[in-house]
Amino acid sequence: MKARLLLPALVGLATLALSACAVTDVHKTTQLPRDATWTLLPMVNYAEAPQAGQRAEAIVDTLLRQRGINDLVDYPSQDGGDGLPDLDDRHRLDSAMQWARGTQRRYGVRGAVSEWGYKTGLDGEPAVGLSVEVVDLSTGQVVWAASGADSGWGYDSVSGVAQSLLSKLIARMPLQ
């Protein structure tokens, strides 16, 4: 009797565990040309982890190049006027958007980090929440967007979970 109940319970728990880890939403749009001029813009950090936006930017840069976007330029880093790096992410994004529009580039890739850290508790599982957008720089219109959240196991790293999630999101970018 117990054996008949145990197997369905284990299958149900395994299914729940695997399906509850990741959530993604992607805005459908028209095809985006790989050979257009692209700019990597700042990812605004809403997480408590310092420089999580810059960490995510580095991953996005690699993943975009992996997808065949070769004409990809990073925004120039700016200081806050006192020789120190500008730590205001919204200001960095606004400045980078203004710079990108002045370069006559076609698309900008920006985003936000809403979570980047480890859950509290016994296992300390990594958890990330990210969004990525492609903006038509001539109009300011968002032409593609995706967001997601994921967590890993206690032996995973935050950057590994972030790379996996960003890879899934950017893989769904409709490039031609």
Sheet holding 107-118, edge to edge: 22-27, 142-151, 126-136, 107-118, 38-45, 72-74
pLDDT tens-digit series, residues 28-75: 788 999 999 999 999 999 999 999 999 999 999 999 999 999 999 999
Percent of the chain with pLDDT over 70: 82
CATH architecture of 32-171: 3-Layer(aba) Sandwich (3.40)
Mean pLDDT score across all residues of the chain: 86
For 2, the 3-state DSSP assignment is helix
Cα separation, 12 vs 7, in Å, equals: 9
Per-residue confidence band for 88, with pLDDT thresholds at 50, 70 and 90? confident
Q: What angle do CA 9, 15, 20 make, to 5 degrees?
A: 125
Per-residue confidence band for 85, with pLDDT thresholds at 50, 70 and 90? low
User: What mean pLDDT comes out for the span 129-142?
Assistant: 96
Query: So where are the chain's domains?
Result: 32-171
User: For the packed helices 158-171 and 52-66, what is the interaxial angle rounded to 10 degrees?
Assistant: 40
